[in-house]
Amino acid sequence: MSNRVKLKSAFKAAFPHTIPIFAGFWFLGMTYGIYMNVSGFSFWYPMLMSLTIFAGSAEFVAVNMLLGAFNPIQALTMTLMINARHLFYGISMLDKYHGNGLKDIYLIFGMCDESFSINYTADIPADVDRGWFMFFVTLLNHCYWFFGATLGGIFGSLIHFNTEGLDFVMTAMFVVIFMEQWMKEKNHISALVGIGVSLLCLIGFGSENFIIPAMAGILGVLTLLRRPLEKSEICDGGEA
């Protein structure tokens, strides 16, 4: 297969998977750009930040950091806390994001919630190059976010139309991804642990602080369940 054909087929296979992200990121990115705009920043701030950070929630929090007093250590620790869930993605992607040459570096750089979820669960056709498929998923998502944020930053205050509720597209996507995973696995213990522990922590710690305790709880419960889970061979999630 020539390189051009290979790229083309990977792009064609990847694009449909990113359509929900197109809707979601365009909207969230714009919201972020508008937020930066009304906070008094020129459009090139959201442009630069959407390009280099590419982690939605951290970027929203960064706006507040930029408006406050200079505290780089706090900026670093806050970001580590908000994005700690990426550690779990990395552990899950050790095999997939390996052996794709230099593309691996970009795949890891761009491993946001959405890129990870698609690249982990997508059934990539056998005749499509896996590395390039995952590369295009990540690149397209990155572009949507970048253009959304930049346009929001430029046109921020001029836009008026009723998009209330459009952000639900992200929730809907994660529900579908959760269901796809659910339909693939033989045993649902891990999925139920994820939902259950997260809900308990949300109730116990509140919406601002529940992620880290939820991660610790999930890790703890799954570690305790290691023997029974390995015995029942549930380890068939995704493609494994």
Partner 1 sequence: MTMTFTQQMITIGMVVLGTMLTRFVPFIVFPAGKDTPKYIQYLGKVLPAAVFGLLVVYCLKNVSLFAGSHGIPEMISIAAVIGLHLWKRQMLLSIAGGTVCYMLLVQFVF
**Site residues for partner 1, window 132-151 (CB under 8 A)?**
none
Residues near 237 by Cβ (< 8 Å), separated by ≥ 6? 181, 184, 185, 190
Q: Taking CB under 8 A as the rule, does residue 181 contact partner 1?
A: yes
CB proximity list for 49: less than 8 A, separation 6 or greater: 36, 59, 62, 149
20 lies in the site for partner 1, by CB under 8 A: yes
Phi, psi values for residue 129, rounded to 5°: -70, 120
Angle (deg, nearest 10), helices 56-67 and 72-82: 160
Q: Identify the three-state secondary structure at position 169.
A: helix
Query: Does residue 90 interact with partner 1 by CB under 8 A?
Result: yes
Our CB check for partner 1 shows the closer of 3 and 233 to be 233
Positions in 113-132 near partner 1 (CB under 8 A): 113, 117, 120
Size of the site for partner 1 (CB under 8 A): 101
Q: How many angstroms separate the Cα of 91 from the Cα of each of 36, 95, 177?
A: 33, 9, 19
Q: How far is the CB of 12 from partner 1 (least distance, A)?
A: 15
Q: Does 13 bind partner 1 (CB under 8 A)?
A: no
Residue closer to partner 1 by CB (options 10, 214) is 214
Cβ distance 233 to 186 under 8 Å?
yes
In the complex with partner 1, the residue whose CB is nearer, 37 or 181, is 181
Q: Does 212 bind partner 1 (CB under 8 A)?
A: no
Quickly list DSSP for 97-110. TSSSTTHHHHHHHT
CB of 1 to partner 1, least distance (A): 25
One of 2, 3, 72, 161 touching partner 1 (CB under 8 A)? 72
Least Å distance, CB 34 to partner 1, is: 18
